Chain A
Amino acid sequence: MKIAIASGKGGTGKTTLSTNLSSYLAQSRQVVLADLDVEEPNSKLFLKGNLVFEKPCSKMIPQWDKEACTLCGKCEEVCRFNAIMKIGDEILVFPELCHSCYACSELCPTDSLPMVPRKIGELKHFRGDHFDFIEGRLDIGEEQAVPLIGQVIEYVDEKFSADTIKLFDAPPGTSCPVIEAARSSDFVILITESTPFGLNDLKLAVDTMRVLNRKFSVVINRYGIGDNGVEEYCDAEGICVIAKIPNDRRIAELYSKGELVYPKIQEFKIALEQIARFVGGLK
């Protein structure tokens, strides 16, 4: 069972829920948590564990072989991402922009653009007392998170059995990184806050999940601030609200110290129990 914890808006509690839910579920189930927010992974700040494996991750990019090149410009013409350009009598490759689609390489009439690996980040596997934790971390300056997210998911699939609960701490937003994280998940928990901003971005996330044909439900965080817009929207759309986590300064204080919340805040634990029961009932 693969469950992505996503949101439209950033800062609504993806990591708080991911880390606490992993720890809570691990009391009775085999759990692995993967931090797929590879541009700014932070789940590790809340978890203790020993590093058991690490590897560099790469993506494929074209490398210009100027000997055979006739400067026909086909590569530049077919690149949708402006990642390769003919400037004077040179072909310039911009590795950060390359989506590894191979179009330039495959369509080059003189085979002057062989694909070569370029390191874009790292994967780390930690083992804690109760559960395993995988982190993807994109190198600074790299722009393509998707290939790394894909490789972390692949690693999780290879190393853990199908009956393991696999939780994905997804990136925020609705663009390619979150789509990569959500599209291979069996279920998506959308966590939001009960404010107009939270509602606006929840709607975008819901639309995204519908396009991806994913099953999803909502958790409302910081419940009690803002307005009733999120509840009214979920009600009107027939979207299940699994739990409401109350707004509580003590939760923010624990978070700021890098501590798990549920062992200390009863109201949070009650919400977490509701979510755990829901997850336990998923087929």
Chain B
Amino acid sequence: MKIVFTVKKEGWDTQMDPRFGRTDTFAVYNEEDESLSFVSNADTETMEHGAGLQAAKKVLQLKADILITGNGPGNKALEILKKSKVAIYVGAGDMSVREAYDAYRAGRLPKFESKA
């Protein structure tokens, strides 16, 4: 499984970023080879509109199976995420990346449901 986290900085023990579209960085954990890599999302910082859409496109390009974040994507970003089979888990905004992963493994993170 390929798991993507929204994170504030690179590393296992750094804080999750509760935001989706304007998260600082995506952490990508590949469970098969246990590799952890990072993809910057800093380009959305200066976008007035559509940051969530660009972030969603990155998640698709990463071919993620799982997305773990804080508040969850907005409706327009969700429209893009739904083009893939990525499963979205939320409620990890206040955790470290490691805590978020453990919480997901233990089934303690709620699955994201669209408010639309």
Contacts and interface: CB of A to CB of B under 8 A. Distances in A.
Interface of A: 81-83, 85, 87-88, 90, 92, 94, 96-97, 143
Contacts, number: 33
B40 interface: no
Contacts of B76: 94, 96-97
B21 to A, nearest CB: 10
A194 to B, nearest CB: 32
Give the interface size bracket for B toward A: 10 to 19
Contact of B50 (A81, A87, A88, A90): A81
A17 to B, nearest CB: 30
A85 B53 contact: yes
A90 B83 contact: yes
A88 B51 CA distance: 19
B80 A92 contact: yes
Interface of B: 47-51, 53-54, 57, 60, 76, 79-80, 83
Contact of A97 (B49, B57, B60, B83): B49
Contacts of A90: 83
B87 to A, nearest CB: 18
A94 B76 CA distance: 8
In the A-B complex, list the 9 residue pairs whose CB atoms are closest, starting with the nearest: A82-B50, A82-B53, A87-B83, A97-B49, A81-B49, A97-B50, A94-B76, A87-B80, A82-B49
Given A82-B49, A87-B57, 12 more contacts: A81-B50, A83-B49, A85-B53, A87-B60, A87-B83, A88-B60, A88-B83, A92-B79, A92-B80, A94-B76, A94-B79, A97-B53
Nearest to B47: A82
